[in-house]
Amino acid sequence: MIARETFHDQIAANKWRSVLLLVVLTLLLVVFGAVVGFAWLGSVEGVIIAIPGALALALILSVGTWFGGDAVVLAASRARPATEAEAMTLLDVVRELSIAAAIPMPRTYLIDDSAPNAFATGRDPAHASIAVTTGLLEKLDREALQGVIGHELAHVRNFDIRFSLLVGVLVGSIALLSDAFLRSLRYGAVGGGRRSSSRSSGGGLVVVIYLVAIVLAILAPIFARLVQLAVSRQREYLADATSVELTRNPAGLERALEVIATDPEPLEVANRATQHLYIVNPIKKLDERSGSLFSTHPPLLDRINRLRALTGQPPVDGAGVRRLAGHS
């Protein structure tokens, strides 16, 4: 007998995994900052200075994105406000699901592109926007459209844009700190207090920390990026489950995901800076090797099988697997 999972189970599990990954990133930034601070100054004082400095860097990076990030994304996507005359069904669906989600109705935009897709942006429910392509409205019926809008409103209600901003800032801070440390090696600006420290408290420890700092400077940005991608995938799973909570209909979202992912037309306005926002990755079809660690989205087949599990259906098999494999 097929085990039936509830959307509440999926929501709880994905929230827990997302928070855990965020904690890992924060600890990585703090530890990396402490090691680099010690390597820079050759003393414990460097640690005391570096940890607040690393956190301050993250705060500074977040300010501009916090207040202007959504406007930049909408402009880059060439989105325009949706009107009742051309998108009445879309606006009706957004209204009814906003009520179900208990959030203000977000500003709704259209992107003139025949490829079906959609995204949400905005730092909180009071400052949220969703954008859908004209191709999405043409190629989905109302039931499937509800699944997509439920997914995007789930991102808004779950504060996923804010969460992604925080994760992105941590990753960016780690990358900048790494770059600054590696550049300082070229100019001999590391270890100002190493000689005196070596004489007084054992230079062996200083050398070890210095080497650890170099290794972390190389590997930490890579690891941080992998964690960021893992967080992105978990939030997509969470939005899928929350969409089912809002619509009470896994079938609509399941059909929508398949239509969007298998549509052959490219989304012209998408780029690598915005691909993570869309409900289905608009940039590339992933092979099995890259689908796990280096994708912004979970494998489509896995997303659909999770939706099928909510109604006790068996996983996709046979021709369905061949049709959906490689998409994310």
Active site (catalytic) residues: 152
Taking the C-alpha atoms of residue 231 and residue 23, their distance in angstroms, rounded to an integer, is 11
| C-beta neighbour count of 138 within 10 angstroms | 9
**192 exposed, middle or buried (CB, 10 Å; 0-12, 13-18, 19+)?**
middle
Residue 261 to residue 136: CA distance in whole angstroms: 12
Q: For residue 250, give the nearest of 16, 18, 13, 4 by alpha carbon.
A: 4
The SS3 assignment for 77 reads coil
CB 110, CB 87: distance < 8 Å: yes
Please state, in angstroms and rounded to a whole number, the distance separating the CA atoms of residues 63 and 292.
32
